[in-house]
Structure 1
């Protein structure tokens, strides 16, 4: 079997058999490539092997090495692989790029590394970061389609060879992702706003819940659950990420807190001033409207059709089957559970032209619609 790009199967090593590394390995295996695995955690390595992600690496030469370890260890493993296999392309998946690239270059320039030759090794390294993942890690949560349709950033250094960059693009394509090339600094500045700040914001908001009495938490709505979904993340991993992108992230935090302080000051005035709140909500709506739409395309408006669904096996499948029977494509859905009741509300996102058709069809099939369709 050959991969998406055609040609014979290639040989890859994945160092780090966690969520991302095992997902990369599974994707490459699905495309018919030979994959080896390495991990300092024997249980992760065993689980990844049992999932069919590859075999334990015992020194085999490879075409491409993917370093998928925590950011604090990434540069050291990259340099080790550049030294150990002198013909392979080495890339990584760390969510910080500037510090990793600088550390790789520093280690290659060190006197202790001079015998290996810096010039040749740096040409075989290109930084990478797949914009995919889950709030909880581990090989047991890996999936070969993890990167399908996702952006995968490549941050080539000034000395990278064309062959190395082509090998990295091959890896991205074989995993089903879309390669996006930018500098390490551009990547880190962007991720401070789009990934690292949201994580800290979700964690800070969820931390406020820890001090609330149980009756207060019973009033938690879907908005709070949505905003804190990623709060159950790995503290050590995120400490690595935050300190590795310290200045851009600090600036992003300061920008956010300035906006909130302005609102707090307006609310403390006598009488409370609504304009600061209005401007913040208005700006938020404008920002949200700029987020890419489905499959990265132009954002489009949907109608939300809320349906009351019993909390029983097979009910969600029946609902989606009825929508399909009506010829309606469900673009997205959201689940909101009713506290203390054996039902939930499934919000179906559909095109405006389909909302009326879907409402009629579901009502005819006995579903309870919670209210009129609303726009999103």
Structure 2
């Protein structure tokens, strides 16, 4: 396929890398010559001068910031009259409304909104990765009036990146991303902001829980301001619900004794929500057994650990690592199918690994 990408930031450059690896012909365009050339130098495609139709692209992908996407989409529909035009913006309803105000007639049939659910805390072409979309949802917003051949082209392009295509109505999409993406960003940023003036000795106590909650707090403020304002109605709705529950918790903490039920309910409801998050490969959530191993913070240790687990013919379902404060020691949590927990612990103990509070020690098997 011949694909032209307008905007060579993280998503645009990553898309170019992924498609180029699949031997699609990719051309690049950006208002910043430096950003455009950097993406090309990284292998995301070839530079094509603005408005050059010699390439006659089948698909034009608008990967610009959300606040300028609508006029760029409208311009692309005029500049490339034979192409299907799509975008990667994370807000769909307002963008579609804005495009409808700028584009009239049959040209609108050539526009299909998309949103690959992928990203990083880092931005720019230098942070691009060819596997950014692999195994990630790629939302396509179409309706009964969308020409099947153009829809097929967009789906083919998305699947070429390794993504899994999901078809959603724009409003359903915006409500969904408000809950699973936009509000988590706000909460992560607000929690991280509480660390600004905290004494260093307090911050030094940070464990993996804080790191998990605040990981995305390092995101680009300019981009997220555009995303949040573009989906303000849906984000506000979720935050109002959250505020009500937060007020209940604050009131319970003020009252103290006799209000523990409110606190317990808040945590329990969180358990229920957590259990609905899809498991591996988008499958139903699965409860895994967690085996904790203490490992020296030295080169090659993790490689040896995973080799030993592999030699036991046990699959690692998930993995996370924390670091012991003040010690060159790693705390590794390995998630496995519960039926293999005891076998893993016995096998690792026999190989000399340190497993604190292991189930076999509690049961007196070792």
| TM-score with structure 2 setting the length | 0.94
- Partner SS state of residue 209, structure 1: coil
CA contact (8 A) 1:332 1:350 kept: yes
Aligned residues: 356
CA contact (8 A) 1:122 1:159 kept: no
> Residue 197 of structure 1 is aligned with which of 177, 183, 188?
183
Specify the alignment match of 1:347 in structure 2.
333
Specify the alignment match of 1:224 in structure 2.
210
Within a 5 Å distance, the mapping from 1:1-376 to structure 2 comes to 10-58=1-49, 59=52, 60-108=55-103, 118-156=104-142, 159-269=145-255, 271=257, 273-372=259-358
Provide structure 2 residue ranges, at least 5 long, that are not aligned to the other structure.
Answer: 361-366
Q: Deviations over 1:247-275 (max 9, x none)?
A: 11011111111101101111111535101
Taking a change above 3 Å as real, the CA distance of residues 46 and 310 of structure 1, as seen in their structure-2 partners, is farther
- Partner SS state of residue 78, structure 2: helix
CA distance in 2, matches of 1:76, 1:157: 22
- Partner SS state of residue 115, structure 2: strand
CA contact (8 A) 2:345 2:358 kept: no
Provide structure 1 residue ranges, at least 5 long, that are not aligned to the other structure.
Answer: 1-9, 109-117
Shift of 1:214: 0.7
Q: Which moved more, 1:244-253 or 1:35-44?
A: 35-44
Shift of 1:373: 5.5
CA distance in 2, matches of 1:271, 1:173: 55
CA contact (8 A) 1:122 1:160 kept: no
CA distance in 1, matches of 2:258, 2:216: 33
Specify the alignment match of 1:5 in structure 2.
none
CA distance in 2, matches of 1:69, 1:78: 10
| TM-score with structure 1 setting the length | 0.92
- Partner SS state of residue 153, structure 1: strand
CA contact (8 A) 2:60 2:83 kept: yes
Specify the alignment match of 1:4 in structure 2.
none
Taking a change above 3 Å as real, the CA distance of residues 107 and 297 of structure 1, as seen in their structure-2 partners, is same
Q: Deviations over 1:315-371 (max 9, x none)?
A: 111111111111011111001111111111111111112211211222222211133
Shift of 1:84: 0.3
CA distance in 1, matches of 2:42, 2:343: 43
CA distance in 1, matches of 2:76, 2:10: 21
Taking a change above 3 Å as real, the CA distance of residues 139 and 104 of structure 1, as seen in their structure-2 partners, is same
